[in-house]
Chain A
Amino acid sequence: MGGAELGQIFVNALLLSGILALVALGFSLVWGIMNIVNLAHGAFIVLGAYITFFLHELLGVDPFLSIPIAMLALFTLGWGIQLGLINQVIRAPLLATFLLTFGLELLIVNLINYFFKADLRSVTTAYSGTGFTLGPVRVPYIRLGALAVSLVLVAGLAWYLKMTRVGRAIRATGMDLDAARLTGVKVATIYAATFAIGAGMAGAAGSLLSMIVPFDPTLGGTYTQRAFAICVLGGLGNVANVVIGAAIFAFVDVFVGARLPSLSRAVTFGILVLLLILRPQGIAGKTV
């Protein structure tokens, strides 16, 4: 494999890891704090993509500018879903929440399919496809922008969880539910906030994806699977772990995709299963 190719793979992976980190972060927050594996995460991503697409198509809003709007919309939706549905079964056995979020994913994605059809959409702007070259390697501007936005959001979340009162309450609730309650934390509200933040992050990821790939309602499915893999890889401890996990996953994904495209999913999952068997707490984190 030539140096130019390796270089391009490196750049591709780097740019991909931003989006993956964003996707995985929302997912890991909900999992780590609420012990819920949210299979509807993919649906939130798709919703974000469609919001950005329609804002661009109908109102001419620049896709990057529509990100806050998509995030707010998904935040609100996530809050509602948690309080209205998830909260009803949060203490039921694992399978219940797993299946509930699965049912939600089915419901939401197919409603989207019903209303918007399976037509492929993509957000094409004047600057789509443009980029600069670093020697033999090409860096598309949009992907670079996506990386930048992801980093800002990831850093923002890390700051929020560490510095603000609500953020610290979220972490406390995740660490010890009863102790948190004793200090006056309203757990139901904190759970709703956590889930909402997770949804908001997914929405942002969706907005970014809409600029990069042609998408249809099934966009989110593979990203949920990847988010799970990343959480296992990186461990659920904190933001840094997830980012590391995302980077590793991105590199493996891109490399395998280039070398063995027809078996890419098999290899990725094979690695995941091996990892689960050998080191379930992940490369960096602590056991859940």
Chain B
Amino acid sequence: MKRGTQVAAFALLLALLVVLPRFVSSYKLLTYTRFLILALMAQGWNFIGGYTGYAAFGNVAYFGIGAYTTGLLMIGKWHVPFFPALAAGALLSALVAILLGLPILRLKGHYFAIATLGVAEALSQVADTWDSVTDGSTGIDLPLKTEGEFFYYTALALVIGGLALTWAFSRSKLGNGCVAIREDQDAARMLGINTTFFKVIAYALSAVFAALAGGLTAYQNIHVTPGDFFRIDYTLQMIIATIIGGAGTVLGPVLGAAVYQLLSTYVWSKFLELHPTVLGLIIVLFIVFLPRGLMTVLARKRQRGERPFRMSDLLANVRAHRVT
């Protein structure tokens, strides 16, 4: 696709998204907002998991921190308005991510993944038990807001911002440094890249996005409990969305979120009882056949001599990863 056509297509899509609320029911709008929030989370995870190659398995912790910070500030004695409260949540998450990231990002592979998981679980229980601050398992209720369009446009704006940020990131020294870390951390270090600094920034970015998503969801759902907001499901959703779309790409997370939301809504309304089963099946199929996500299928970068993507490439990819 030529550059010009690409931009035009993108602009058209954007225009459609902007006028969408006028054409759909308020319940459908909710589904679209959900997709945008998921895209936001996926974009964040993409920084640490996609570009830097560190499989963070506990980003729901920041989702929860964002939700509770936004909520508590709004209903607390200062009655902070939504947007400042949301920003505060993002800031706090970034700080926590930096503090935790410094020791944890030294760990490799599985250890890092489980450490992040452990942090999320621990935080969940703390929120559950810290009655004096969070009201424990009873939860808190944010002020009511009925206009669905508010949430939709806020989410849309954030996602567009996220796209811009990811694009800038991928072209920057920071972004390239992270990719270098993913490919060969020791070589990167020897080339003079401050791996700790880069990793922590990527991790903090992922925390910020998760917190924004959390704060928005909290305001939308009104009722916030640790049980609902610290669920591993959220981590999984953002990871799956990114994988489906293509980790380490700009559009991947958003594309993946759209596909995931589509599947989820379809499966949910038709096969309610089998919903998680089908999700599991989808994960399995994608991992085996399309581990690089849909972007590999769609972004047909035809350089000179390179042939277009074919089904047989899928199987060749699978065969390459087997042991005989």
Contacts and interface: CB of A to CB of B under 8 A. Distances in A.
Q: Taking the complex as a whole, does A directly touch B, i.e. does some CB pair lie under 8 Å apart? A: yes
Nearest to B236: A102
B288 A100 contact: yes
A93 B184 CA distance: 13
B95 interface: no
B281 A107 contact: yes
Interface residues of A, number: 47
A103 B114 contact: no
Given A114-B273, A277-B106, A262 B129 contact: yes
B119 A88 contact: no
B149 interface: no
B-side binding surface: helix, strand, loop or mixed? helix
B14 interface: no
Contacts of B114: 37, 228, 232, 272, 276
B281 A103 contact: yes
Contact of B103 (A262, A264, A269, A277): A277
Given A37-B110, A100-B284, A277-B107, A266 B125 contact: yes
A265 interface: yes
B263 interface: no
A-side binding surface: helix, strand, loop or mixed? helix
Contacts of B277: 106-107, 110-111, 114
A225 B281 CA distance: 22
Interface string B100-131: 00011011011101110111011111101100
B324 interface: yes
A96 B284 CA distance: 9
B187 interface: no
B115 A262 contact: no
Contacts of A276: 104, 107, 111, 114-115, 118
Contact of A85 (B124, B274, B284): B284
B287 to A, nearest CB: 4
A263 B273 CA distance: 32
Interface string A261-287: 011111101101100110010000000
B210 interface: no
Contacts of A110: 274-277, 280
A111 B280 CA distance: 10
Contacts of A91: 320-323
A98 B321 contact: no
B55 interface: yes
B11 interface: no
B164 interface: no
Given A273-B104, A277-B103, A95 B280 contact: no
Most buried by A among B110, B121, B236, B274: B110
A114 B274 contact: yes
A276 B113 CA distance: 11
B135 to A, nearest CB: 14
A188 B324 contact: yes
Given A98-B110, A114-B277, 4 more contacts: A87-B322, A96-B321, A99-B243, A106-B276
13 contacts: A90-B322, A95-B243, A106-B277, A107-B281, A187-B324, A262-B128, A263-B129, A265-B125, A266-B125, A269-B118, A270-B122, A273-B104, A276-B115
The 10 A-B pairs at the shortest CB distance, nearest first, are namely A103-B283, A106-B280, A107-B280, A269-B118, A266-B125, A110-B277, A103-B284, A266-B122, A110-B276, A269-B122
